[in-house]
Amino acid sequence: MTVGNCMKQRVVSVSASTTVQEAARVVVEKGVGTLPVIDEQGVLIGVTSISDVLKVFMPDFVALMDNIDFVHDFGVLENLQAKDMREAAWLTIQDIMQPPVAVEETCGLLRASATMAKHRMRDLPVVDKEGRLVGIASPVDIATALLAAWTSEATS
């Protein structure tokens, strides 16, 4: 069994020129946590995540704090409004995207799972031989496909 057999073929993606603000809207409207970044030919050129987008909106000092347990409330920062986010309007996905980690659709499920674990990924972009994005697989997609194969073999 390959990752191409269990991946989701409908993938929400963005271009490198998409603004972070637009990407935030996509995340909210589509309910996705990973946004593959593709070029005009559909080739995967990067990946960004809901965490990367959130970092743009988070106060800088949060990343510098080792222990936030003593902070019970961030006060006025908890109520940031769209007008407070003007900086994000000019940042593009190219500014925050990570290098792509992907597997080809012919990749075996155990290798796909190991790739996700090694890179601590929530979703794994799947590409064809030319590097074009053709799908995305979650740990649940991969694990259920593996379990289905193993349980069907056990009953055979």
In this structure, what CATH number is given to the domain that contains residue 124? 3.10.580.10
The residue segments making up the domain with residue 76 are: 3-155
69 Ramachandran zone, left/alpha/beta (phi>0; psi -120 to 50): alpha
pLDDT of residue 48: 96
More confident residue, 120 or 154: 120
Q: For the chain, first and last CA: distance in Å?
A: 17
pLDDT of residue 83: 47
Model confidence at 154, in pLDDT bands (50, 70, 90)?
Answer: low
pLDDT at 130 over 50: yes
Domain count for the chain, please give it.
1
Mean pLDDT (the chain) is 86
Please state, in angstroms and as integers, the Cα–Cα distance from residue 11 to each residue in 15, 38, 52, 80, 125, following that order. 13, 11, 18, 30, 9
Report how far residue 26's alpha carbon sits from residue 47's, in angstroms, rounded to the nearest whole number: 14
pLDDT at 12 over 70: yes
Supply the pTM of this predicted model: 0.82
Q: What is the mean pLDDT of residues 28-48?
A: 97
Which residues fall within 8 angstroms of residue 91, CB to CB, at 6 or more apart? 19, 20, 21, 56
- Which two structure tokens, joined as six digits, stand for 55? 């970092």
Summarize pLDDT for 63-121 with one digit per residue, the tens. 555 655 555 555 545 555 554 566 666 889 999 999 999 999 999 999 999 999 999 99
